[in-house]
Amino acid sequence: MHIGETLALIITLFLALYGCAQLIRRICLWMVRCPDCADCWRLAIPRGGSSAAPLFRCLQAQAAWEESGGCSRTLVVLSEMSAEERCALENLLREAPAVTPVTVAELTTMIAERRLESQRKES
């Protein structure tokens, strides 16, 4: 056996093991799925204004590759900002509707609305 054949065999073995692990993962997720789906929001907080653009790009990529059944929305908590800064950030996020920039006040309002909705459903 030549070194190329050995490497091809090892790579094929690793890919087969990875495929088996993914199959087992999918079966386990299917077996423990919830009958009533809940909203899942991911919350990201950038360290500063300069780190916001790379964070947004990363979150956009994750949202594009995310499987259905995962987190439905990603909220990015931003500090209070001017209208121009907000417009620039919204233009950056226009390509990924699953990523939403919010301020602390907007996040508080969203949580209160969800709490009221859940209380109405329980009644």
Tell me the pLDDT tens digit for each residue of 21-49.
999 988 887 787 766 666 667 777 776 65
**How many Å apart are CA 80 and CA 78, to the nearest integer?**
6
Confidence label for 12 from pLDDT (cuts 50, 70 and 90):
very high
Please tell me whether residues 67 and 116 are part of one structural domain. yes
Structural domain that includes position 109:
37-122
Q: Enter the pTM of the model.
A: 0.53
Please tell me whether residues 71 and 94 are part of one structural domain. yes
Q: Does position 81 have pLDDT exceeding 70, yes or no?
A: no
More confident: 31 or 95? 31
Please tell me whether residues 80 and 115 are part of one structural domain. yes
CB contact set of 93 (below 8 Å; sequence gap of 6+): 56, 60, 99, 100, 101
More confident: 88 or 115? 115
Please tell me whether residues 44 and 5 are part of one structural domain. no
Q: For residue 34, how far is the Cα from the chain centroid?
A: 19
> Which residue has tokens 């996040």?
107
| Domains held by the chain: number | 2
Q: Where are the alpha helices (DSSP H) in 1-103?
A: 3-31, 52-65, 83-93
What are the helix and strand counts (H, E) for the chain?
4, 3
